[in-house]
C-alpha cells in the first residue's frame, strides 16, 4: 500500500531528485507559461560556451565545455540536470586561475543517451575516469553536485590516485537505505513516461520550491527548458536515464561502507534548507545529520553549511558558495 501511495504522489510531482509536496497557491506559481512553446531538443540547449565532445571506448559521446588555464576543476552535475547547473562557477573559477571543465553525464544534456548503459554511480564514475584519462587532465579536483557527489565519491574510492581533491556539493551517497527501501525504489520508479506527463505547474513547484530558497527571475530558464524538453524526440531516453539513475543512487552501500578509504582533501558543502536530502518521504529529518555522517567517516574532511540555501546550492547561493569553495581549494 505504501508503494502505491508514493507512486501516485510521484506521478503528480517530478523533477530533479526525490521531491517534496507543498501546498502552494497556484496564483503565485505562474509568472510565465511555456507549455505552448515549441519543443527544445537537447542538442539545441543554449550553452554559454562552445560545446566539445569526447567519445568513450563504448562509443558514447560526452558533451563538455571548458574555460581557463591552470589546475583542472571537473564539474559533475546531479540527477535530472546537465552542465549548465554550473553556470555560476565556470567564469568565477576560470578568472581565479583554474581550468574549469563541466560535462554532461551519459543520459543527460547534450551527451548520448544509450538504453544499454547501466546508469549506476560506478558506471558514471568509470565514464568520468575514461574522460579524465582520455583528455590527459592529470589529477583534477572533482566538484560533484548531489548524484554527481556520489559519483565523485565512487571515483575517489576506486581510483584513489586520480582526483586531487573533492568538493561534494549537497552530495548523495551518505544517506542509508535499507534493503526494503531499495526494492521499493525499483518497484516504484519503473515508467519513464511519467516524466513526460508532468505538468508545467508541478515542474515549477519541484524546481522553484524543492531545489531553491532564493528564487530569482534569471533562473526561469530552468522551468522553460524542462517544460519544452518534454516535447522533444529524445525525452523518453532522458526519462529512462533518470529512472535507472534513481535505482543507482539507492544502491550506495559501496560508497557508504568505504568512505574511510578516501584520503584526499574533501569539502562537504550544502544548504541548511535542503529539501531533498535526506529523502523527504523515507527519512524526514535534518540535512546536517546526513552530512555529519560523511564528515565523520572521511578523515580530515571539512563540512560547510550555508544558511538559507537550498539543494541546488551552487545556483541558489552562488556568491557564498563560490567564496567558500575558493577559500578551500586555493590552499591545496
Q: What angle do CA 37, 40, 46 make, to 5 degrees?
A: 115
> Comparing C-alpha atoms, which of 144, 160, 162 is closest to residue 152?
144
The whole-model pTM stands at 0.90
CATH of the domain at 235: 3.40.50.1820
* 238 vs 42: CA distance, rounded Å: 10
Bridge partners (DSSP) listed for residue 73: 100, 141
> Comparing C-alpha atoms, which of 57, 316, 263 is closest to residue 153?
263
Walk along the chain (332 residues) in steps of 10 and give the mean pLDDT of each run. 37 39 44 86 97 98 98 98 98 98 98 97 98 98 98 98 98 93 79 82 89 95 95 94 93 95 98 93 89 97 98 98 98 96
Say if CB 32 and CB 224 are below 8 A apart.
yes
Structural domain boundaries enclosing 12: 2-329
pLDDT value, residue 18: 39
> Comparing C-alpha atoms, which of 192, 170, 131, 117 is closest to residue 309?
170
pLDDT value, residue 1: 36
pLDDT value, residue 233: 94
H or E segment and range at residue 225: helix 221-229
pLDDT value, residue 285: 85
Q: Give the length of the chain.
A: 332
Structural domain tally of the chain? 1
> Comparing C-alpha atoms, which of 59, 321, 99 is closest to residue 213?
321
> Comparing C-alpha atoms, which of 169, 174, 155 is closest to residue 85?
169
Question: What count of other Cβ atoms lies within 10 Å of the Cβ of residue 144?
Answer: 30
pLDDT value, residue 25: 45
* 143 vs 86: CA distance, rounded Å: 10
Amino acid at each position: 500500500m505504501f508503494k502505491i501511495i508514493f507512486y501516485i504522489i510521484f506521478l503528480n510531482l517530478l523533477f530533479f531528485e526525490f521531491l517534496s509536496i507543498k501546498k502552494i497557491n497556484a496564483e503565485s506559481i505562474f509568472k510565465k507559461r511555456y507549455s505552448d512553446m515549441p519543443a527544445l531538443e537537447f542538442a539545441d540547449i543554449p550553452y554559454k560556451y562552445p560545446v566539445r565532445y569526447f567519445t568513450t571506448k563504448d562509443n558514447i559521446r560526452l558533451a563538455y565545455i571548458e574555460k581557463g588555464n591552470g589546475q583542472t576543476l571537473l564539474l559533475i552535475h546531479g540527477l535530472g540536470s546537465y552542465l549548465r547547473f554550473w553556470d555560476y562557477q565556470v567564469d568565477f573559477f576560470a578568472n581565479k586561475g583554474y581550468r574549469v571543465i563541466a560535462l554532461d553525464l551519459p543520459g543527460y544534456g547534450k551527451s548520448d543517451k544509450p538504453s544499454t548503459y547501466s546508469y549506476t554511480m560506478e558506471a558514471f564514475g568509470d565514464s568520468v575516469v575514461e574522460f579524465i584519462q582520455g583528455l590527459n587532465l592529470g589529477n583534477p579536483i572533482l566538484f560533484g553536485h548531489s548524484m554527481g557527489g556520489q559519483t565523485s565519491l565512487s571515483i575517489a574510492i576506486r581510483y584513489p590516485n586520480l582526483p586531487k581533491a573533492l568538493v561534494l556539493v549537497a552530495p548523495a551517497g551518505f544517506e542509508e537505505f535499507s534493503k526494503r527501501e531499495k526494492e521499493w525504489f525499483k518497484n516504484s520508479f519503473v515508467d519513464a513516461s511519467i516524466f513526460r506527463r508532468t505538468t508545467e505547474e508541478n515542474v515549477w513547484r519541484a524546481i522553484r520550491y524543492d531545489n531553491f530558497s532564493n528564487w530569482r527571475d534569471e533562473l526561469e530558464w530552468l522551468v522553460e527548458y524542462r517544460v519544452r524538453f518534454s516535447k522533444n524526440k529524445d525525452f523518453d531516453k532522458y526519462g529512462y536515464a533518470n529512472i535507472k539513475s534513481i535505482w543507482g543512487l539507492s544502491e550506495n552501500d559501496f560508497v557508504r561502507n568505504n568512505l574511510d578509504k578516501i584520503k584526499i582533501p574533501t569539502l562537504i558543502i550544502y544548504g541548511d534548507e535542503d529539501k531533498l536530502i535526506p529523502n523527504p518521504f523515507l527519512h524526514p529529518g535534518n540535512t546536517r545529520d546526513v552530512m555529519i555522517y560523511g564528515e565523520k567517516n572521511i578523515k580530515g574532511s571539512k563540512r560547510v553549511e550555508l544558511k538559507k540555501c537550498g539543494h541546488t546550492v551552487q545556483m541558489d547561493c552562488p556568491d557564498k558558495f563560490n567564496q567558500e569553495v575558493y577559500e578551500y581549494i586555493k590552499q591545496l
